Structure 1
Amino acid sequence: MDIMEKAILRSGRDRLRYTVIFELLLMAMLIPAGAVFFDKPMMDIGVLGAMLSVKAMLLNLVYNWAFDQLDARAGRVSSARSHWGRILHALGFEVSLTITSLPIYVLWLQVSVVDALMADIVITSFVVGYTYVFTLIYDKAFPLVGPRAIRT
């Protein structure tokens, strides 16, 4: 039997739930902080946050699907990822977000690429930790179970 047939993967509905909860909690923390940091109205930062959130949600769906496929091919269940697997997952996602977010920061906030990158490094540093903790809690709250679940 193929490893892909043995492993349980998250459903599209489960991925959507993860993504929406993740983004809503993150925006609730980052929008007020961004308004203060950039000295911009909350509405401006909120619109920027909404744009970045939609982009991040779409990227999140694709990224997590691809990462889960890699786990499944290696015979692992995504909700049972190791400590290092979770770190690799979070860092890889944040690198992909940075690459796709910089042009938006530069255009929306009218800042230099260097300023946008510095702001993104601060935000990303926070989000990497948040991603690790959120995903760990999510996996505990919504574990993958069943006869095909492979724990490593």
Structure 2
Amino acid sequence: MASASSSATSSSHHAAVAAPAKVSGLQGPKRRILYVSLYEAIAIIVSSLIFMAIGQKASDSGVMAVAASVIAICWNLSFNYLFEKWESRQSVKGRSVLRRVVHAIGFEGGIAAMLIPLMAWWFEISLWEAAVMEAGLLLFFMVYTFAFNWAFDRLFGLPASAQGVSA
């Protein structure tokens, strides 16, 4: 009796292990489109308010916030494509802390190189004032990105890659 019982338990256990779990929550292109749309809409509103809070005109602030958002999206796509192309040619694979730091500095340095002169020109301020403004935005976006990602994942579920289950 005992062997029949353990055999039944064993086979049902294997069946449960063999069946992959289903992915839950919003996934794929719909998730990415919603993510970028919400992230950037909130970023445009808050950036506009930040620019106005430091004395810029509302109309100038809105235009700069939209321009910065478009630049950020285009730069993100371009930079990550180029970084991943470079990364694929490296003999050492994986994402070490050093590689992640290089990625972050490259991304933020590139966007700053585009936005600082644009902000200086658009707001008619010095490059130094624009650099200080960009540094403030960088600090804001670090906190905002963390909070947004946490809230988005709580509302829409984790992406499949973070669930550890097959799609």
Q: Same fold (TM over 0.5)?
A: yes
Give the structure-2-normalised TM-score: 0.60
Give the structure-1-normalised TM-score: 0.65
Calculate percent identity across the aligned residue pairs.
22
The 2-side partners of 1:66 and 1:15 are apart by: 20
In the other structure, the counterpart of 2:35 is 18
In the other structure, the counterpart of 2:49 is 32
In the other structure, the counterpart of 2:134 is 120
CA drift of 1:111 comes to 1.3
In the other structure, the counterpart of 1:131 is 145
Structure 2 alignment gaps of length 5 or more: 1-26, 88-92
CA drift of 1:64 comes to 5.8
In the other structure, the counterpart of 1:147 is 166
CA drift of 1:66 comes to 7.0
Does the C-alpha gap of structure 1 residues 120 and 62 become closer, same or farther in structure 2, counting only changes over 3 Å? same
CA drift of 1:57 comes to 2.0
The 2-side partners of 1:20 and 1:59 are apart by: 16
Does the C-alpha gap of structure 1 residues 126 and 118 become closer, same or farther in structure 2, counting only changes over 3 Å? same
Aligned length: 129
Report the structure number with the largest CA radius of gyration: 2
**Does the 8 Å contact 1:90/1:131 carry over to 2?**
no
The 2-side partners of 1:92 and 1:128 are apart by: 15
CA drift of 1:61 comes to 3.6
**Does the 8 Å contact 1:48/1:108 carry over to 2?**
yes
In the other structure, the counterpart of 1:100 is 114
Does the C-alpha gap of structure 1 residues 126 and 116 become closer, same or farther in structure 2, counting only changes over 3 Å? same
CA drift of 1:105 comes to 0.7
CA drift of 1:106 comes to 1.4
Report the residue type matching 2:108 in the other structure: E
Structure 1 alignment gaps of length 5 or more: 1-9, 77-83
Considering only aligned residues, what root-mean-square deviation do their CA atoms show, in Å? 3.4
